[in-house]
Amino acid sequence: MADIRVKICGMKTRADMEAAAAAGAAYVGLNFYAKSARSVTIAQAAALASDAPVGLAKVGLVVNPTDADLDAITGSVPLDMIQLHGQESVERVAEIKTRYGLPVMKVIGVAEAADLDPIDLYAQVADQLMVDAKAPKGAKLPGGNGISFDWQLLASKKYWQAPWMLAGGLTPENVAEAIRKTGARQVDVASGVESAPAQKDPDLMRAFVEAAQAV
Ligand SMILES: O=C(O)c1ccccc1NCC(=O)[C@H](O)[C@H](O)COP(=O)(O)O
C-alpha cells in the first residue's frame, strides 16, 4: 500500500467535509471561482473551514485573484494553502506567497509535452504544484472539467523541485492506473467523486481514496 495523499476539491457542505475526512482525504478544496457550480461564498467557506475536521488541510482555490480578493478571503477563512488556478505568472505566485504567508500551490494545465516546460520555474517559487488537464478552448471552467491528459507525458518528467499532485479526469476506476503511470504521490479530484454536478458522493469519495491508496 502506498502513502498517497488525496485532495478532494469543491466542498460545499459540512457533510461533504466530514465525508472527505472519513474517506481519508488529506486536503479539501474550497472553490472561490464564482462561475463554478462548486463555488462557495466567503461566508460559507469561513463556516466550513472554521468547523473542519481536525487534520484536514483546507485549500482555497482562486483564479487570477487580485490582492483585494485574497485580502477578503484570507481575512475571513482559515486556509492552510492557496491554490492558483489561473494564468498567474511566476512573479505573481512569489508575491502572493510573501504577502499572505501561506503555502501556495500553482496549477499547470497540460495538453501536450511543451506545457510541462514552465514547471521548473514555478517549482522554484511554489510550495506545491498541481499538474492538471488543460481546459479545452471554449470550456466554461478553467478546471474541474473531468478530462484527463496523456499521463505518458509525465513518464520521464516527474521530478521537480516542489511536491506535485496529479489532477484531471481522475475517478475511482482510473486513479490507480494514473498513479502507476505517472509516479504521482498526491492526486486531486473534483467531478470524479460526484453523483450529479457539484454534488459530492460519500461512497465515491471513499472508493477514490481506497483505490488511490491500494496502489
Ligand atoms: O472545479 C471547478 O469548478 C473549478 C473551477 C475553476 C477552476 C478550477 C476548478 N477546479 C479545479 C480542481 O482543483 C479540480 O479538482 C481539478 O481541475 C480536477 O478536476 P476534475 O477533472 O473534475 O477531477
Grid coordinates representing 103 are: 503555502
pLDDT, position 156: 76
Mean pLDDT of 74-94: 98
Mean pLDDT of 34-47: 98
Residue that has been written with the C-alpha cell 473534483 in this structure: 190
Instruction: Report whether pLDDT(158) > 70.
Output: no
Mean pLDDT of 152-162: 84
**By residue range, what is the domain housing residue 47?**
5-213
pLDDT of residue 22: 97
CA atoms within 13 A on the CB side of 129: 24
Which segment of 2-6, 64-68, 147-151, 201-205 scores lowest on mean pLDDT? 2-6
> What CA–CA distance (Å, rounded) separates 133 from 136?
9
The residue nearest atom 7 of ligand 1, judged by CA position, is 143
Q: φ, ψ for residue 50 (rounded to 5)?
A: -65, -30
In whole angstroms, give the CA distance from residue 204 to residue 175: 12
pLDDT band at residue 155 using 50, 70 and 90 as cut-offs: confident
Angle between helices 202-213 and 175-182 (to 10 degrees): 30
- How far apart, in whole angstroms, are the C-alpha atoms of residue 54 and residue 77? 15
| Least confident among 130-134, 138-142, 198-202 | 138-142
Mean pLDDT computed over 90-105 = 98
CA dihedral 175, 4, 165, 39 (to 10 degrees): 80
Tell me which DSSP letter residue 95 carries. H
- For 162, the 3-state DSSP assignment is coil
> What are the strands, taking DSSP E only, across 69-200?
81-84, 104-110, 128-133, 164-166, 186-189, 194-196, 199-200
pLDDT at 161 over 70: yes
Q: How far is the CA of 65 from the centre of ligand 1 (A)?
A: 16
Ligand 1 atom closest to residue 8's alpha carbon, by position in its atom list: 15
Give the Cα-Cα-Cα angle 36, 135, 84 (nearest 5 degrees).
65
∠ CA 11-36-185, nearest 5°, is: 50
84 near 73, Cβ under 8 Å?
A: no
Element (H or E) spanning 31, and its range?
A: strand 27-31
Question: Where residue 127 falls among pLDDT bands split at 50, 70, 90?
Answer: very high
Q: 511566476: which residue's cell? A: 90
- State in Å: Cα 144 to ligand 1 middle: 3
Percent of the chain residues past pLDDT 70, beyond the cut: 98
Residue identified by cell 488543460 is 134
Give 39's pLDDT tier (boundaries 50, 70, 90): very high
The pLDDT of residue 159 is: 76
pLDDT at residue 64 greater than cutoff 70: yes
Tell me, using a 6 A CB cutoff, whether residue 29 lines ligand 1. yes
**Atom of ligand 1 minimally distant from the CA of 29:** 13
ipTM: 0.98
Residue 147 Cα: closest atom of ligand 1: 21
Q: What is the pLDDT of residue 1?
A: 60
Phi, psi of 81 (to 5 degrees): -160, 150
pLDDT at 193 over 70: yes
Cell of 77: 477563512
Number of domains in the chain: 1
Question: Does the pTM of the predicted model rise above 0.90?
Answer: yes
CATH code (residue 147): 3.20.20.70
